[in-house]
Chain A
């Protein structure tokens, strides 16, 4: 799976897409693959404040729960309600199945995240699976 070059990535396997003042967050294809069949996604409420590095929600498979960490800080403007009823979207298209949109507190924060190439290298080094 190719990692979109216009996204930025975290070592906790989230992606972030920045368009102006708006950020969109999801989890990476590598993350969905290691989790297996995703059965539930828990997301924050619109209006909640996210802090970079802090938990914003969880993704669950049948026998595991993983925290989703906010790559950057900001205020949630929209959550992907469709994931409530079809969490399998994350398995099918991790880089398309966004989770939250937020108004960025500081757009320059994104530059601290990994590029697609660096993330791919990181994943390869992390365990090779």
Chain B
């Protein structure tokens, strides 16, 4: 009970003051037959040292000490130490949503800076304070497109992360939003002919990912042309945020839905991550999520507040743009700090290292005898190889060398057979690449 700041005598005095005999009198509203008679059947209270020991035990044998070639929507980048140093400040992590701006300027200003940096990077006019993650953000972006266009259908590229697509299917099912898919071509990019045929005058939004799930960079401008000709909106999902350091931003898109995990957020077995939505000024009133805006106080000093709140559930209830309330503020702060540490030059340098490592690995794997799929289009830090051996068998062997191999694609794309998706970041050592190349040859 080390978290409870009361002595037994405090409790007695308080009960007396309230005018009841025992604490159970305060629970009288609960019908007696539903009151628990005994203890919950959970383990006894642990000492702090025991808790640390338990979780250390859980952590042992996990990813620690492994080199990894996994990407596929979650990326292993180095996290500058200032991130944890700053987000561990209680003033940040033990604060609530900044509803009282006079005593929440720290959170508010940092979100304003986050929104501003996301705009700089994506080429959009306005960005929100964060969404749960890239998958739910993509689903919300499609719903936003439906509100904006007054149309109801969506088109989603099959080269969008398969788990994003599963989430979208769940969200769309009861929105009266039929979803059709558009396939990828030989070079791994969205098949433009198929896309043109797939959009009709009831299509609200088209969702693509770039770099897509295979690591291929889409021709956003060409796709946008096609989508806009049909009066639909283009949503570009970005799962690997570091790509923005070196890949042209999707300025032609109407909505950018991004997963910013790459910006200093721990892999953490899948979460918490940081979705972000960005769009054009004219669409802001249909954007879900919190927004921070600049204003002045009574003495003319600059300050920041939550604004355009009438879009949100606490005001508009069932007519709100979304039911989202809690977002990922602290994770967005991690991203802000990461973006600041690397900044204008560093993000470019960092992205360039990712590009170089992946390029080297793809070359070595090819030399070793693996087939490089989708070789006709530009890539960032992921690429797909086809091997004679089952990729799970390759990965088993690599695991023995403390290397986690690429992501076998047959889980989501059975027709791709023995293809697997490999990711190299600035943290991938040449030695690991060379070691892996030996195994993919077989």
Contact = CB atoms under 8 A, between A and B. Distances in A.
Contacts, number: 16
A129 interface: no
Nearest to A61: B310
Interface string B264-289: 00000000000000000000010000
A28 to B, nearest CB: 21
Contacts of B315: 63-65
B430 interface: no
Contacts of A65: 310, 315-316, 319
B309 interface: yes
Contacts of A64: 310, 315
Interface in A57-99: 60-65
Contacts of A63: 309-310, 315
Interface in B289-310: 309-310
Contacts of A60: 310
Interface size bracket, A side: under 10
A71 B309 CA distance: 28
A40 interface: yes
Interface of B is mostly: helix
Contact of A62 (B285, B309, B316, B319): B309
A102 to B, nearest CB: 21
Contacts of B285: 40, 42
B127 to A, nearest CB: 20
Nearest to B307: A62
Given A64-B310, A65-B316, 4 more contacts: A40-B285, A62-B309, A64-B315, A65-B315
Interface string A36-59: 000010100000000000000000
A44 B310 CA distance: 18
Nearest to A59: B310
By Cβ-Cβ distance, the 6 closest A-B pairs, closest first, are A60-B310, A65-B310, A65-B316, A65-B315, A63-B315, A63-B309
Contacts of A62: 309-310
B290 to A, nearest CB: 14
A119 to B, nearest CB: 27
* Residue among A42, A60, A63 with the highest chain B CB neighbour number at 10 A: A60
B72 to A, nearest CB: 41
Contacts of B309: 62-63
12 contacts: A40-B285, A40-B310, A42-B285, A60-B310, A62-B309, A62-B310, A63-B310, A63-B315, A64-B315, A65-B310, A65-B315, A65-B316
Interface in A5-45: 40, 42
A60 B307 CA distance: 12
* Residue among A42, A61, A65 with the highest chain B CB neighbour number at 10 A: A65
A40 B315 CA distance: 15
A64 B309 CA distance: 9
* Residue among A42, A61, A62, A63 with the highest chain B CB neighbour number at 10 A: A62
A64 B315 CA distance: 6
Contacts of B310: 40, 60-65
Nearest to B317: A65
